[in-house]
Amino acid sequence: GEDVEQSLFLSVREGDSSVINCTYTDSSSTYLYWYKQEPGAGLQLLTYIFSNMDMKQDQRLTVLLNKKDKHLSLRIADTQTGDSAIYFCADFSPLYGGSQGNLIFGKGTKLSVKP
């Protein structure tokens, strides 16, 4: 089946940039997502990118997509202690080739921001 891989931990200093990487196996991937989970909470969508895009920027967040290498990254500029959380990469997997489907999640990257 399809798979999404990401490293489990990342530690950065406050004010630095964080880059969280993700690889996926689905060659027909259409949408890719980044979710954030703060301690004790559910997941919250941060941003997403459509497969015909290379880059998407939203304030401090930059998503880069290399479709040839099936590599997705999330860059957080000027990382703050409030950014400490688990970040999940996810790939939309259609059901029966249609518009319905579910998300294939990576295991999550725990970002620790040191003051």
Partner 1 sequence: DVKVTQSSRYLVKRTGEKVFLECVQDMDHENMFWYRQDPGLGLRLIYFSYDVKMKEKGDIPEGYSVSREKKERFSLILESASTNQTSMYLCASSSGLAGDEQYFGPGTRLTVT
Residue 78 phi, psi (nearest 5): 50, 55
Count, residues near partner 1 per rule CB under 8 A: 27
Give least dist CB 33 to partner 1, A. Answer: 7
Quote the CA–CA distance of 108 and 110 in Å, as a whole number: 6
Length of the chain: 115
Residue 101 near partner 1 by CB under 8 A: yes
Q: Which is nearer to partner 1, 19 or 45 (CB)?
A: 45
Residue 23 near partner 1 by CB under 8 A: no
3-state DSSP assignment of residue 18: strand
Give least dist CB 85 to partner 1, A. Answer: 13
The DSSP secondary-structure symbol of 95 reads: S
Burial 22-41 (b: 16+ CB within 10 A, else e): bbbebeebeebbbbbeeeee
Tell me the window of 12-20, 43-51, 54-62, 68-76 that interacts with partner 1 (CB under 8 A): 43-51
Residue 88 near partner 1 by CB under 8 A: yes
Give least dist CB 15 to partner 1, A. Answer: 29
Nearest to 20 by CA among 32, 34, 38, 3: 34
Q: Which residues bind partner 1 (CB under 8 A)?
A: 1, 8, 30-31, 33, 35, 40-45, 48, 50, 88, 92, 94-95, 99-103, 105-108
